[in-house]
């Protein structure tokens, strides 16, 4: 009978080769995890995060082997902050205003000092406020005082619910202060005259863009710079951008929601997600979508896109003193905007309960989705026209325009 036993040295050698092969071959796909991160953002960042999430998902897959799903949410910045406070388990927030993230901090969900966690006060990109007008600029709108002229129809979101609207308001206030002798009564009168011309107050910037671009209302839209450029790209030949000589530096910040990531075990992923916004890839995606990159080298690549000779006032200017004082003075219940608005509509839009700078009314009181300027026989009422009616970003149809379906 033939002996078929394998010699011990040969057996050992075979085992060694098998072990080495196992070490060199890639891990089986079954070992890859499925992970998820939720980003609660504000209205005009839809296209930015549509592309960024795709890029980051590929980056994270290559780095870790894990399959990542990004759950994306958009809306008026203050309304979005309120959803997180009320239980939306966001891993990260990428909002329009520092005061909105501070409200989440003061609800106990984000640790103090969050603006020091990422470069540039945790603002990976910046923006400003410009005017979008119809082709040919038939009302010859060039600066903020033109918005207060009789017969000019203005579209802007509601400062009670929209971060962009607060930037709009404060930019107008800064113009008035510089041009009316630092007289607060004249500042109030000037901003009131602009709001006398406002036709519709939507809850968020994208709703206002829909109102102006799709519904054809108004002569001028007060818009985030990126939103105005997107309108030009989506509807060529119909609109023009007017960059006023003076505007405001908008610094949309980002933060990890500490309580939520610790609960879900996603801190490392959430931090990586926000850090990647500062990478060359993230900065170029921001610039591509008309946000001003915080990286000076990358920003230089977009120098022909942005109007760089604008005077941009900051929220930390002594005129405003930072978001806490600005919120308390202008936007809390009973603040200057409520006084202006009550004259405009005959009623304060949000509850008359007093509130402090540490407890913004816009984050606590119910807000009407859209209010239209009253006219004979018309009573302002809430309606869904100002809401974003598109499917969630991750399920958006490929043939759908950036502004989605027209509001009803």
Q: Is the dihedral of CA 264, 266, 271, 277 positive or negative?
A: negative
CA atoms within 13 A on the CB side of 66: 12
* 314 Cβ contact partners less than 8 Å away, ≥ 6 residues apart: 248, 249, 251
Task: State the DSSP code for 92.
Answer: E
CA gyration radius, the chain: 25
pLDDT score, position 31: 72
Token pair for 68: 């990542």
Token pair for 385: 């026209």
Pairing type for strands 246-248 and 370-372 reads unpaired
Cβ atoms of 159 and 166 within 8 Å: the answer is: yes
* Averages of pLDDT over each 10 residues, the chain, 408 residues: 51 51 50 92 94 98 97 94 97 96 98 97 97 98 98 95 94 97 97 95 92 96 95 94 96 97 98 98 97 96 90 96 96 94 47 31 36 32 30 30 38
Q: Quote the longest CA-to-CA distance of the chain.
A: 113
Report the distance separating Cα 306 and Cα 308, nearest Å.
Answer: 6
Pairing type for strands 254-256 and 92-94 reads antiparallel
pLDDT score, position 3: 52
* 288 Cβ contact partners less than 8 Å away, ≥ 6 residues apart: 51
187, exposed or middle or buried, with CB in 10 Å at 0-12, 13-18, 19+?
buried
pLDDT score, position 353: 29
**3-state SS class at 166:** helix
The pTM (predicted TM-score) of the whole model is 0.76
Cβ atoms of 56 and 68 within 8 Å: the answer is: yes
pLDDT score, position 258: 98
Q: At what angle do helices 184-196 and 163-179 cross, to 10 degrees?
A: 130
Report the distance separating Cα 117 and Cα 402, nearest Å.
Answer: 32
Cβ atoms of 206 and 46 within 8 Å: the answer is: yes
Q: At what angle do helices 46-64 and 267-275 cross, to 10 degrees?
A: 120
Q: Which domains are delineated in the chain?
A: 32-125+252-300 (3.40.190.10), 129-249+309-386 (3.40.190.10)
φ and ψ at residue 220, rounded to 5 degrees: -150, 140
């Amino acid at each position: 009978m033939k002996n078929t036993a394998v010699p011990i040295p040969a057996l050992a050698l075979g085992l060694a080769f098998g072990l080495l092969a196992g070490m060199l071959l890639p891990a089986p796909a079954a070992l890859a995890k499925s992970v998820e991160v939720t980003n609660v953002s504000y209205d005009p960042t839809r296209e930015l995060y549509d592309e960024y999430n795709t890029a980051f998902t590929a980056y994270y897959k290559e780095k870790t082997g894990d399959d990542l799903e990004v759950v994306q949410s958009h809306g008026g910045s203050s309304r979005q902050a309120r959803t997180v406070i009320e239980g939306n388990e966001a891993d990260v927030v990428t909002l329009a205003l520092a005061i909105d993230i501070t409200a989440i901090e003061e609800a106990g969900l984000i640790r103090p000092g969050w603006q020091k966690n990422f470069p540039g006060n945790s603002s990976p990109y910046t923006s400003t406020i410009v005017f979008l007008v119809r082709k040919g600029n038939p009302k010859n709108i060039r600066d903020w005082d033109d918005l207060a002229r009789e017969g000019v129809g203005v579209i802007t979101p509601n400062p009670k619910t929209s971060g962009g609207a607060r930037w709009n308001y404060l930019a107008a206030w800064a113009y008035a202060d510089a041009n009316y002798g630092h007289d607060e009564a004249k500042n109030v009168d000037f901003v009131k005259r602009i709001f006398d011309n406002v036709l519709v107050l939507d809850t968020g910037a994208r709703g206002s863009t829909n109102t102006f671009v799709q519904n054809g209302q108004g002569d001028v839209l007060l818009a985030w710079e990126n939103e105005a450029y997107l309108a030009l790209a989506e509807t060529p030949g119909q609109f023009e951008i007017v960059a006023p000589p003076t505007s405001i530096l908008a610094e949309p910040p980002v933060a990890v929601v500490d309580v939520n990531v610790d609960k879900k075990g996603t801190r490392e992923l959430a931090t990586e997600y926000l850090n990647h916004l500062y990478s060359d890839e993230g900065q170029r995606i921001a610039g591509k979508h008309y946000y001003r990159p915080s990286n000076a080298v990358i920003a230089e690549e977009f120098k022909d896109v942005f109007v760089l000779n604008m005077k941009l006032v900051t929220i930390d200017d002594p005129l405003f003193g930072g978001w806490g004082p600005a919120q308390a003075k202008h936007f809390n219940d009973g603040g200057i905007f409520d006084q202006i608005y009550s004259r405009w509509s005959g009623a304060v839009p949000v509850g008359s309960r007093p509130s402090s700078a540490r407890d913004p009314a816009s984050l606590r009181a119910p807000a009407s989705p859209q209010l239209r300027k009253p006219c004979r026989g018309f009573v302002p009422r809430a309606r869904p026209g100002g809401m974003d009616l598109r499917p969630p970003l991750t399920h958006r149809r490929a043939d759908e325009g950036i502004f989605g379906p027209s509001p009803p």
